Amino acid sequence: METAVAVPLNQRIREDIERRIRSGEWPPGHRVPPEHELMAEYGCSRMTVNRALTALAQAGLVVRRRRSGSFVRAPDPRFESVALQIPDIPMEVAERGHAYRFRLLSRRRRAARRRTPHEMALADAQGRVLELRGVHLADGRPFALETRLLNPDAVPGALTMDFSATAPGSWLLRTVPWTRARHRIGAVAADEAQAAALQAPVGSACLRIERQTWRGAECVTFVEQLFLGGRYELVAGAGPG
């Protein structure tokens, strides 16, 4: 387990503003307090505030207008829509009448693999990603094996969050707004390590879901979830037009 690190003040300012936007406290078009007010509130320099607002603008959450200030950005109609909703596994397990628990298997901050595009998209300024591996349990039995990569610059709060009992996906859904997602679904046979984590025979048929999400132009996370065949199904609706 890695040692928790202090979150820089500019990242804390960004997270505070982001929470207000996500909660609806600051709706689209709302004017973010001017820089001098944020400086006074947080007791920091203009440069620190500017870094926070620049990161929010790059993430597509605010629009900065010269001489006017920063405003909460309205949803962009050009963003892709998703036929499959991003599931909250703890909620789904509970709705089925089972007791849910998450078990963290490993946590590390490592270098992004240069030949893997989604890892390079998630790499922070130091070229690293946060990798979390864990198992979702239903009534004490493995329900899904999850390997998740996070962009430390996009979600700095993840560096200090204790995921030993809290599922990363649920935490992200509650705290980090996303604007676009891409799913890839396939069938695989569990290898030795996967089978051991799922408490199943090697070669067991599994449903594999890969999902990558963005916030504006910023890639936030990539996750691979493995479900034993017959224990999970996906349903997506569609209509004309």
Name the residue ranges covered by the structural domains of the chain.
Answer: 9-72, 89-228
Rounded CA separation 141/144 (Å): 9
Helix (H, G, I), strand (E, B) or coil at 215: strand
Rounded CA separation 16/41 (Å): 12
Per-residue pLDDT of the chain (241 residues; tens, 9 = 90+): 444 456 688 888 988 998 888 777 888 889 999 999 999 999 999 999 999 998 888 877 888 888 888 998 876 544 344 445 677 888 888 888 889 999 999 999 999 998 899 999 999 989 999 999 999 999 999 999 999 999 998 888 898 898 987 899 989 888 887 778 888 899 999 999 999 999 999 999 999 999 999 887 789 999 999 998 876 666 655 555 4
146 membership: H or E segment, kind and range: strand 141-150
How big is the chain, counted in residues?
A: 241
CATH of range 89-228; options 3.80.10.10, 3.40.640.10, 3.40.50.1970, 3.40.1410.10: 3.40.1410.10
* CB distance 159 to 4 below 8 Å: yes
Q: What is the pLDDT of residue 80?
A: 41
CA distances from 46 to 106, 175, 213, 215 (A): 39, 26, 31, 25
CB atoms within 10 A of CB 139: 12
CB atoms within 10 A of CB 112: 20
Q: What is the pLDDT of residue 3?
A: 44
- Tokens 């198992």: give the residue: 135
Which of 237, 221, 194, 217 is closest to 105 using CA atoms? 194
CATH of range 9-72; options 1.10.10.10, 3.30.420.40, 1.10.260.30, 3.40.50.1950: 1.10.10.10
State how far Cα 240 lies from the chain centre: 31
* CATH topology identical between 9-72 and 89-228: no
